[in-house]
Amino acid sequence: MSNQPREQGAIGRVLSVSGSEARIGLFAEALRSAGNADDAVLTVGKFIGIARNRLLLVGIVSQVSTEVPLLVREEGFHAIASIDLMGEITSGEIAGDAHFLRGITSYPAIGDVAVMLGTAELRRIYNIDTSNGVELGCLQQDTVVKAYANIHDLISKHFAILGSTGVGKSSGLASLLRQILAARPDQRIFLLDGHNEYAHCFGDSALVINPANLKLPFWLFTFEELLEIIFYGRPEDEEVEILAELVPLARALYQQSREGLGARRHDGRAADYTVDTPVPYRLKDLLALIDERMGKLENRASRLNHRRLITRIEAVSNDPRYGFMFANANVGGDTMAETLRHLFRWRIDGKPMTVMQLAGIPSEVVDAVVSVLCRMAFDFGLWSNGAIPLLFVCEEAHRYVSADRSLGFQPTRRALSRIAKEGRKYKVFLGLVTQRPAELDPNIVSQCSTLFAMRIANDRDQQLLLAAASDAATNLLRLLPSLGPREALAFGSGIPMPTLFTFPELPAHFVPRVGTISGEPEPASSNDQVIDSAIERWRGAMMAKRLLEAAG
């Protein structure tokens, strides 16, 4: 090889090939930058091309070393680079017709010339039709070149953003969702905002829902979800049996009253309803049924169980923190269509996105509320045959679908799992975000075809990503502990090839931040209102807790 002429722009030649990996002998000049152009230095994560007939094979550098065998050094090589082959640029029959294809059709041969990829070649790799592409940020190798993802594959095949705390996941997610909205203004997006960070990130494109304006009627909850609300996850068997029998009767009773059939409480129509049928009923009807049954009992223990159940229901329904569920509990009215339309933006009205703030919801029932939202999103997609596509984005995903199946609220796990496994069929798509990848159910992660991995130092977290990576991107995962703020390694079906890029820096007013934190002092009157409101909620919660303890 030493007698071969050196082509213009050549940085080395192929020394060996093994599967999808090639080793390149590098000339001395390949190790020096041009002036102060740091981007010109060949190092880990850079793209290299190998000329092969009419193809330019594309690979990513995974290792560079100056430990060169004497025989190789005598051939004029001063270092060796290992590269993972990713795809190829075909020259095409017509000038300008070159295009990038993932995968290798013709492997390199010993002695083939290696070159650094320039801006033109990098743009050809990421030459995605703007109507089908969403901009991610700037390539690490060449900041002039923008990295793009195929928006259809990104959304319809699910995605996940994984990284440690403080690496820029929230800003990255906000940037990604803003780009999706820019590319698809009618795309419905529902974001579970666990820390109330995103209210201002999307301007007028998002409807912000919190406990103050949330309307989620109690009768929309399944039986398991309702038990979580009433019993705080510790149900009493006999009281559960009472509810299981009387909830369908309460549903039938309300439907009879609406149809003017009178109060025939034991009408056979109760058999038409189950404890989970999403039709309305009034809380006062349920309480009246429990009280009526209690009056017919002679066994003191059974009467006491009925009385405790009534006390529990009254305590929860009168707790001001649960106003979003019980505000109109005794009024009735079928508001299911209105609720779904409001939550999931069936009528966009200029706001295709919903930011669901969870921080103000009582912590003991957040899981049940999330379960309702996930389940309704999937069920509507199922029963409408995917009439309105929805992207459901879940922050703090490890909380709801933990790797430890004994943790968390099982209905929430089942609801999110159904979206992950079956949602594509009904155009309900999933986006997951977590700072604890190892604590996330690997079966759920495996359903996400596009992954954005940010800085991760924990070995357990890295192992999960190694299992999820299906191609030569596995070598690049060794870079994760050293990634900078907003830097990410993207790989999967939505990305032309595994890519190191940087999410753009958002304008200050769009950067996610916790809504209750402000750099400026609040006016005294606002502080007084906050204090008064906090005391009122505090006392209300303690009174409700005392009533529940008394019932127990």
Nearest to 454 by CA among 176, 139, 136, 168: 168
Residue 448 lies in a domain: yes
Say yes or no: 481 and 362 in one domain.
Answer: yes
Residue 487 belongs to some domain of the structure: yes
Residues 364 and 418 occupy one common structural domain: yes
Structural domain for 30, as ranges: 10-125
Pairing of strands 47-52, 146-150: unpaired
Which tokens is 450 given? 């596009």
Query: What confidence tens digit (pLDDT) does each residue in 293-341 have?
Result: 888 877 778 888 899 999 999 999 998 889 999 988 888 788 999 999 9
- pLDDT score of 35: 43
Query: In angstroms, rounded to a whole number, what is the distance separating the alpha carbons of residues 408 and 401?
Result: 7
Q: Is the pLDDT of residue 160 over 80?
A: yes
User: Is 304 inside any structural domain?
Assistant: yes
pLDDT score of 2 more than 70: no
**pTM surpassing 0.75?**
yes
Secondary structure tally for the chain: helices H, strands E: 16, 18
Task: Kindly tell me if the per-residue pLDDT of 476 is higher than 50.
Answer: yes
Residue 533 covered by a domain = no
- Per-residue pLDDT of 459-471, as tens digits, reads 888 888 887 776 5
What's the pLDDT score for residue 478? 82
Checking if the pLDDT of 94 tops 60, the result is no
* pLDDT (average), residues 111-139: 86
What is the band of 36 on the pLDDT scale with cuts at 50, 70, 90? Answer: very low
Segment 421-451, tens digit of pLDDT: 999 999 999 999 999 988 999 899 889 999 9
**Residue 509 CB neighbour total at 10 angstroms:** 9
**Which of 389, 435, 476 shows the shortest CA–CA distance to 151?**
389
Do both 231 and 160 map to the same domain? no
Looking at the fold, whether 48 and 192 belong to one and the same domain comes out as: no
68 close to 26: Cβ distance less than 8 angstroms: no
540 in a domain, yes or no? Answer: no
Domain match, 211 and 228 both: no
Q: What is the mean pLDDT of residues 137-153?
A: 89
CATH number at residue 456: 3.40.50.300
Beta strands (DSSP E) in 486-549 are: 487-492, 499-502
Same domain, 299 and 277: yes
Q: Do residues 283 and 357 both lie within one domain?
A: no
Report, as an integer, the average pLDDT of 122-151: 85
Say if residues 291 and 310 touch (Cβ distance below 8 Å). yes
Supply angle C-alpha 330, 336, 337, rounded to 5. Answer: 140
138 within a domain of the structure (yes/no): no
- pLDDT confidence tier of residue 540, bands split at 50, 70 and 90: low
Rounded Cα–Cα distance for residues 220 and 42 (Å): 59
The average pLDDT across 258-281 equals 70
Residue count of the chain? 552
Q: Which of 330, 363, 379 is the last residue of a domain?
A: 330
Same domain, 308 and 340: no
H helices of 84-168, in order, are 119-125, 151-156
Whether residues 18 and 62 fall in one domain: yes
Name the domain count of the chain.
3
Do both 376 and 476 map to the same domain? yes
Report pLDDT for 260. Answer: 66
| pLDDT above 70 for 522 | no
CA atoms within a 13 Å half-sphere pointing along the CA-CB vector of 340: 17
Grade residue 477 by pLDDT with cuts at 50, 70 and 90.
confident
**Quick one: 457 and 391 in the same domain?**
yes
For residue 319, give the H/E element and its range: none
Q: Give the residue among 358, 344, 454, 429 at the shortest CA–CA distance from 400.
A: 358
Residue-wise pLDDT for 46-72, tens only, equals 889 999 888 999 998 988 998 888 888
